[in-house]
Structure 1
Amino acid sequence: MTPRVPQRFVGLWHRRLLETPAVRDTSTEVFWLQTPTLYVDLRVPLGRQAPCEGFAGRLTVDGDVLTWQRWLDLSPPSPWPDVGTMHGEGDLLEEFGVYQPYREVWQRVAHGGDSLALVWEGEGAGRGIWVMLGRYFMWALFRHEGLSLHREISYGLRGEEGGAWTILRSSEAALVGTSLADRYHISMPKAALGDCLLCDRGTGQRMRWRPHA
């Protein structure tokens, strides 16, 4: 079984500040949704003047040292592992880079409600990670569409009583304001340990998402 992430890190986090020797950034919208097992992270530059960044995978914690294992990544692999030391308590944390000089300030904006982490494994490079906390969700979906690999990371909000899955931010600008239900028929499990089945409304492709324990 995957080691559980301490509760002090579980939640939906919004980055307030990035500082490096060359940059001070308060405008990029960054959301990190951490469950007790898996996470998804999305970074959308102001005005989309640069490519979006985003990644997803498993977080390992050793005291104050956190390592983000990037199973899916919109960017090419970095020569440096994604490792930081985290300081602070409650809903405000400061992260300092171990292998690269940076400081990030994170504010937790949600931490209540049930959480769920699902994974999908398709053909070839097709993979997905879908995390939920209360009404919030984020997913990273790398999926073959014809001869190309569609790569999407989105953050959104689920309606009351299983309503629309509205995308609030996405690496794909055209998806903002749409619902996952516009593209997929979603059959959620009645129990946290059940599978979730998605069926593409256009192609009929079925994707079975399994809980990650």
Structure 2
Amino acid sequence: MPSTALSLTTLPGGLVALPGVYQPQADTRLLAAALAQEDLGSRTEALEIGTGTGALALHAATRGARVTAVDVSWPAVATARLNAWLHRLPLRVLHGDFEARTAGRHFDVVFSNPPYVPAPDDRLPSRGPERAWDAGLDGRAVIDRICVDAPSLLRPGGVLLMVHSGMCGAEKTLDRLAGAGLAAEVTATASVPWGPVLRSRRSWLEQQGLAAEAEEREELVVIRAQCP
């Protein structure tokens, strides 16, 4: 049986990933650029929802923030903990649902690259790499939960940063955050080529009206919302 070390994937930036853990991609980089614009320091309490490799959480930790990272995937938790150890950065990584694991806590910054890919099955996967991207028929199963929970997670003046596909409806996200009492806006966008998951669902996406025929690029959006 091969050792765990032999099963690791080495990523740019000195990160590693266990099999099935979402690897940093264009959405990660777009959110990292948005996070870089925020005022983080030693007094900043930050939360990442769905940490994956821990890349974004570690990005915040390098600037002195005290970061808690949560993921429902045990391989992701193990990967983030290992990357924190390799980079000698303090990072609290918790396994489980973000709402349950952060009950009663409040943060200055909450950031997330949640699952947002529309899927033919409205049930969220309970295992496998699909947990990192499948998010119900409209791709909003996790996005909507974050919108609802953001006011209770943020301290006064706290900021939520979230990236997702334009397929999920940026205006809907803005409306839900505004309805929750937050001042929300789109602060960054990017157009990226479709990846293998979207390509494999082309016919279904077109049938659902989520993609135009022969569409080849996906719009990503970063939403920034601030608590009064």
TM-score of the aligned structures, taking structure 1 as reference length: 0.27
More strand by share: 1
TM-score of the aligned structures, taking structure 2 as reference length: 0.26
More helix by share: 2
The structure whose RCO (Cα within 8 Å, separation 6+) is larger is 2
